[in-house]
Structure 1
Amino acid sequence: MTDERSGATTSDTTTSDTTARAEGDAAGPPLPGYVHVYSGKVRDLYAPVDPVTGETDQTRLLLVASDRVSAYDWVLDSLIPDKGAILTQLSLWWFERLADLVPNHVVSTDVPAQVAGRAVLVRRLQMVPVEAIGRAYLTGSGLVEYRERGSVCGVSLPQGLTEASRLPEPIFTPTTKAPIGSHDEAITYEEVVAQVGAATAAQLRRLTTAILARGNEIAAQRGVLIADTKVEFGIEPDGSLVLADEVLTPDSSRFWPASEWVPGRPQRSYDKQFVRDWLTSAESGWDRHGEQPPPALPSSVVEQTRATYVAAYESITGRRFE
């Protein structure tokens, strides 16, 4: 997980065809037989169109992962080659291994040739308006809050923890789901209950921590630790939850090489840390807290970031990325 979340949220796509724009973002490519309905930071959403009636399908969506990259709530002008395919293929791999815990939104991988490998046909769902975040290790904004309060999102933690400490068990640390360009804010479990109800809140907490725990069981066998993750859920008519968007990818999670894990210091990550590090370096000349968009990435940063995404995919799945 990153502290600024990446990936399109589909919370409004069940009721609106409004296209959201972010600084530096671009609409997805036109696809015959589909109408573009929404673009988030990373993903583009299309609705199938009936070739006879011309009516838009209200039950399914085509979810396309682009090669765009976001950082610090900005969508950059630079693209990371193959990123969309890696996120899609890794999510599909994980969906299979989590199917006994929670159903997912995938209907089919039979998609238009223009987006083959980086798109899936999914169920159209009403999305839960909360970012479901789980933490297994203490780092990032969770560490900052722990140092101030001894807790994260209202969850009390043992004394003496430090950077990258393993938590006794995964914890649920939700945030608001802010519009593109705004920042998510940490909230307590009680605030989630107030927003979505006790039953849904309990499901969110149980499934988020179970997904993270299962993910770590599998990833640890492959030499990877999952420090934290963000998952998206849709709501069925009966109130049950469906796993949606992406799951346990370098964009939605923080992966660490297990062989290098040493509590007390920052860890090397299998994610877009190269992007963040360069943007906050003197070389970029960019003010993270200002109002100007980030500059384009140097080719070396693009190449290193792509290599890291490929390494994450290959380490976890044991498959060669083609």
Structure 2
Amino acid sequence: MSENVLLQTNFSDLKLLRRGKVRDVYDLGDSLLIVATDRISCFDVVLGCGIPHKGEVLTKISLFWFDYLRDICENHLLTADVNAYPPQAKKYHEALRGRSMLVKKAEPLAIECIVRGYLSGSGWKEYLKTQSVCGIRLPAGLKESQKLPQTIFTPSTKADIGHDINVDEAGAARIVGKEALADVRAKAVALYEKAAAYAQTKGIIIADTKFEFGGYGGKLILIDEVLTPDSSRFWPQEGYAPGRPQPSFDKQFVRDYLETLSWDKTPPAPDVSADVIQKTSEKYLHALKVLAGL
């Protein structure tokens, strides 16, 4: 893996469709080129630093999961082999190798599909107030980081500006329709449970994750990234104990660091120490090695 940090791509003769918090997406006509940069966002703010290897880790973990989970749900991947890209993209092979995917041009579903196996993050905060998460009533007396009695599907809105907002299933059905919601709920829970069972054999707990689905050819398919340290909470099985936050192999490490600073979580983001950047990179690489053997 290259040590160079890539914060932004500028392929002047390709059509930039959007520049997200982490990914630059180019429209190649009948397909999309997704480039995972080394940018990192926390609290919906993109930090000024990059995390070495991050884009490569996100891409390689997603490729692993796309293959492992393909029996449950079709996905948008066409190829990650730069040599098989169209000529107009292939010319940028040095920047693209290891951190890009050529994908089908799906129509994204207008909700985030979040699946939780453990009580953490915004789910824990909501539980403390209402004893429920996204309208799903939970037993009394649960602890932070505790395994839930069963996997729950807790969708949220997609916000172009600001934070996504958790919604109950009735609210999600109003956005995407009852039939589509039932389909993605079943697929998302099955994907999570198969992945979580596999990860546990590797000593990693997947506490929760976010999937994205899109319409393509009359079907809902899995798109974007899958079960990465950006979209999931990965905890080490060793030392796991409910009742407190858990150490993690994901960007929660950076969030926790930022929480120690006097920052109001609005741009611009504060500087991140070289030590935190290095340790975050190591956590991402560790997740890749343990889960995908790479």
* Cα displacement (A) at 1:31: 6.0
CA contact (8 A) 1:229 1:253 kept: yes
Pairs within 5 Å for 1:281-320: 281-282=260-261, 285-288=262-265, 291-319=266-294
Which residue in the other structure is 1:257 paired with? 236
CA contact (8 A) 1:64 1:118 kept: yes
Which residue in the other structure is 1:229 paired with? 209
Residue identity matched to 1:125: A
CA contact (8 A) 2:62 2:228 kept: yes
Q: Say whether 1:275 aligns with 2:254.
A: yes
CA contact (8 A) 1:67 1:80 kept: yes
SS of equivalent to 1:293: coil
Residue identity matched to 2:149: P
Instruction: Point out where structure 2 has 5 or more consecutive residues left out of the alignment.
Output: 1-6, 83-89
TM-score for the superposition, normalised by structure 1: 0.83
Pairs within 5 Å for 1:1-322: 28-30=9-11, 34-48=14-28, 57=29, 59-111=30-82, 112=90, 113=93, 114-179=95-160, 181-238=161-218, 240-282=219-261, 285-288=262-265, 291-319=266-294
Distance between the aligned counterparts of 1:27 and 1:247, measured in 2?
21
CA contact (8 A) 2:45 2:267 kept: no
Q: Which whole-Å deviations, capped at 9, do the CAs of 1:251-281 have from their partners, x for residues lacking one?
A: 0000000112101111001112232122222
Distance between the aligned counterparts of 1:98 and 1:292, measured in 2?
37
Shift in alpha-carbon separation, 1:84–1:31, aligned structure 2, 3 A: farther
Distance between the aligned counterparts of 2:256 and 2:168, measured in 1?
30
TM-score for the superposition, normalised by structure 2: 0.91
CA contact (8 A) 2:8 2:37 kept: no
SS of equivalent to 2:244: coil
CA contact (8 A) 1:257 1:268 kept: yes
Q: Percent identity at matched positions?
A: 43
Residue identity matched to 1:42: V
SS of equivalent to 1:268: coil
* Cα displacement (A) at 1:110: 2.6
SS of equivalent to 1:300: helix
Q: Which whole-Å deviations, capped at 9, do the CAs of 1:174-201 have from their partners, x for residues lacking one?
A: 110000x411111000111111111100
SS of equivalent to 1:92: helix
Instruction: Point out where structure 1 has 5 or more consecutive residues left out of the alignment.
Output: 1-25, 49-56
Residue identity matched to 1:302: I
SS of equivalent to 1:260: coil
* Cα displacement (A) at 1:296: 2.1
Q: Which whole-Å deviations, capped at 9, do the CAs of 1:80-119 have from their partners, x for residues lacking one?
A: 0110000000000000110000000001113331211000
User: Any runs of at least 4 consecutive aligned residues in structure 1 with deviations exceeding 2 A, and if so which?
Assistant: 26-29, 285-288
For the aligned residue pairs, the C-alpha RMSD in angstroms reads: 1.5
Distance between the aligned counterparts of 2:56 and 2:279, measured in 1?
17
Relative to its length, the structure with more helix (as a share) is: 2
